[in-house]
Structure 1
């Protein structure tokens, strides 16, 4: 166990008795001593609860709520149009126009948690892969930017050898400008890399939690846990999609527009204009957003299946009605 502090028996504590728990119930979210565990197994309402030996219980696994965060009621329905577990009030207020509303118990019973786990695991891997590509791209881009600036400085140094103090002043000014622009771009790149690292850590934690939640929770809690992780994964996927329009993820090239009159006006250094203008050229990078496309397809497919199921039920109802009339 993660802690040396013994876990007390919940029912005994209610009776003002301190008893060490021998069993942990994931449905009740509390420990049970050997006596209470025996009653727990015999009662009809709790005999199917998922329990483990207290020594195998991992307190680090976060509790999966089975109540609606918005209304505080039990999650007992499921909207296939929005892929969301709902309570009665959710259905009446936010999903009144949705079709194919099912009981959460039937959806859980017909859901292959392992298949959902595998899909989310793939989504996490895909999103991590995209974020890693952006990280690598920015690292390479920063190195290339430094090389480009060094190349510009060498060009400026070549001209410097041909002219006098005035050119030295121009060189200093232009080098400062290139360094300023490079530092600005590196600062932007470092900022987005820091944020991406945060998303990567979050996704990896979700990935670790995903593999532990199935084996240590009830099927309902596993379903809800997987659903909660899926929502968080979708948020990360949306973050990746939004990166496409983020100025900081665009590749930058630091270039110089050379003054064509430099060679011809070396003899008139006083009137010499700046050697060039430093600029940043941005271009988009290709991101593989397969996970987002797959998510949209999944929503569309679920809605289509819901419509088909409703049509089938209506047809069957009509057939039964007509058959009954003919008899």
Structure 2
């Protein structure tokens, strides 16, 4: 794959000239124009370097720089304490107290590249596995949270339904009581009206009988007839007067339970049906990684130490928070 970014000739750039590179040298990690490449092939130090045509060259990842990003100087030294390449100014300013400063070229020569790649690859794989565990945990936490969220909604809905159900039962009960009481009172009132109608009918009949007196009867018969009607009227008057004393107007009312006002006051002061709480539980994932990255470099000065550190592994703990939702009724 050809590079999308123009690569300049390294030697030409050292001479303050920007020339497009035709060849790339993996050993020197720089581009070469056709002129510089010819010289590069003839020199004893570089004639056996691995090169490739610029059209098929695939650049390495962006961090492969031979210059210090801070001081713009060539990286020539290596600090084993911090496991990092340094320029001369880095050493003087940031690593003056570090011991065992080495030449970067010597460290590179002593490094087992394949073994180093395998070690880094192992760390990358381990971190990827750890990230997968963390992501899966959070995905499961989301699913569990969704279920807990639904449970909370259902529990609140259940409380509301139970309250409504109880109120419906109380409502039906008071309706039934009102229906029974009003039915009884209505029956009494209706019976009273029926009784009055009967008295009115009797009085009208008496009135008709009174009008018939003296028409076809003697004086004695008329006297006895009027006397009989008078007695009936007198009894009717007594009955009506007694009924009149017993006449009462009926009003149907409800005496409210004092507890209802107490409940209303409680409801007005109630600001919540409960509390939605988040419980956090710390969980730990582990990953295996190299104890000492310096073990990638097999120095002839410290063979025993390197052998020990290369065969040793440690577990690095990563703490996450597992979240659960719960509903606490008030």
TM-score, normalising length: structure 1: 0.51
2:87 aligned partner: 87
Aligned equivalent of 1:116: 116
Of stretches 120-129 and 93-102 in structure 1, the one that deviates more from structure 2 is 93-102
Instruction: Determine the C-alpha separation between the residues in 1 that align with 2:17 and 2:83.
Output: 43
Task: Quote the RMSD (CA, aligned, Å).
Answer: 4.2
Alignment of 1:256-267 (within 5 A): none
Residues 146/269 of structure 1: CA separation in 2 closer, same or farther (3 Å cut): farther
Matching residue of 1:155: 155
Post-superposition Cα deviations, 1:225-277, rounded to whole Å, max 9, x if no partner, equal: xxxxxxxxxxxxxxxxxxxxxxxxxxxxxxxxxxxxxxx99x93652443321
Map of 2:275 onto structure 1: 277
Question: 2: distance between equivalents of 1:146 and 1:55?
Answer: 54
2:81 partner SS: coil
Q: Distance in 1 between matches of 2:67 and 2:119?
A: 25
Higher relative contact order (CA 8 A, sep 6+): 1
1:286 Cα deviation from its structure 2 partner: 1.2
Q: Which residue matches 1:182? A: none
1:298 to 268, 292, 297: 292
Partner of 2:310: none
User: Does the Cα contact within 8 Å between 1:71 and 1:89 map onto a contact in 2?
Assistant: yes
Structure-2 separation of matches of 1:161 and 1:2: 70
Deviation at 1:89, TM superposition (A): 2.4
Partner residue, 2:38: 38
Instruction: Looking at secondary structure, tell me which structure has more strand per residue.
Output: 2
Alignment of 1:1-327 (within 5 A): 1-2=1-2, 21=22, 23-26=23-26, 27=28, 29-33=30-34, 36-59=36-59, 61-62=61-62, 64-164=64-164, 268=263, 270-272=265-267, 273=270, 274-291=272-289, 294=290, 297-298=291-292
Structure whose alpha-carbon radius of gyration is higher: 2
Q: 1:41: how far off?
A: 0.7
Relative to structure 1, the CA distance from residue 268 to residue 286 in structure 2 (aligned partners, 3 Å threshold; closer, same or farther) is same
For 2:20 and 2:276, the matched residues in 1 are separated by: 74
Which one has the bigger helix percentage?
A: 1
Q: Identify if the C-alpha distance between structure 1 residues 136 and 45 changes in structure 2 by more than 3 Å, giving closer, same or farther.
A: same
Structure 2 Cα separation of the partners of residues 125 and 102 of structure 1 = 30
CA contact (8 A) 1:79 1:95 kept: yes
Deviation of 1:42 (Å) = 0.6
Moved more, 86-95 or 76-85: 86-95
Match of 2:183 in 1: none
Counterparts of 2:111 and 2:134, CA distance in 1: 35
Partner of 1:184: none
Where does structure 2 lack aligned partners over 5 or more consecutive residues? Answer: 168-258, 304-330
- TM-score, length of structure 2 as denominator length: 0.50
Contact 1:25 1:32 in 2 (8 A): no
Q: Cα distance, 1:71 vs. partner?
A: 2.3
Residues 61, 286 of structure 1: alpha-carbon distance in 2 compared, 3 angstrom cutoff: closer
Aligned position for 2:237:
none
Give yes or no for contact 1:68–1:75 (8 Å, CA) kept in 2.
yes
Q: What secondary structure sits across from 1:288 in the alignment?
A: strand
Q: Secondary structure at the match of 1:115?
A: helix
**When the two structures are aligned, how many residues end up with a matched partner?**
204
